[in-house]
Amino acid sequence: EVQLLDSGGGLVQPGGSLRLSCATSGFAFETYAMSWVRQAPGKGLEWVSSISGNGASTYYTDSVKGRFTISKDNSRNTLYLQMNRLRAEDTATYHCTKVGLAGDWLYFDYWGQGTLVTVSS
């Protein structure tokens, strides 16, 4: 059974840092690309970042480029999101997602429960 367990959220002051983790099990982690998606309070879903299976390629939404870093440790089956220079508008629940490969195009087939990040003084 595929499982994604998000953690690491919390309250942080503007300009501060947090590292989110996503511990995974039930699939060949090194084979699959992974992503982070966030949802601000009362808002819709927003794709944040993706990383290839081997970790060599990374992608970010414009608003987090230069501040967030996605990485994966294939020896620990764990995905990370290092978030620096946090802003109030980064306040959201962050979900890790696994990329599905059964189709012609990508999709997110499994999602973590989410971890809440609150940026406030």
Give the residue with the Cβ less far from other proteins, 41 or 75: 41
Contact between 62 and other proteins (CB under 8 A)?
A: yes
Instruction: Decide: is 27 part of the binding site for other proteins (CB under 8 A).
Output: no
**Pair of tokens at residue 65:** 């480029």
Quick one: DSSP state of residue 102?
A: S
Instruction: Verify binding: residue 107, other proteins, rule CB under 8 A.
Output: yes
Q: Which stretch binds other proteins (CB under 8 A): 10-18, 20-28, 70-78, 96-104?
A: 96-104
Q: In this chain, which stretch among 15-23, 24-32, 54-62, 72-80 interacts with other proteins, using CB under 8 A? A: 54-62
Residues that bind other proteins (CB under 8 A): 35, 37, 44-47, 50, 59, 61-62, 95, 100, 102-114
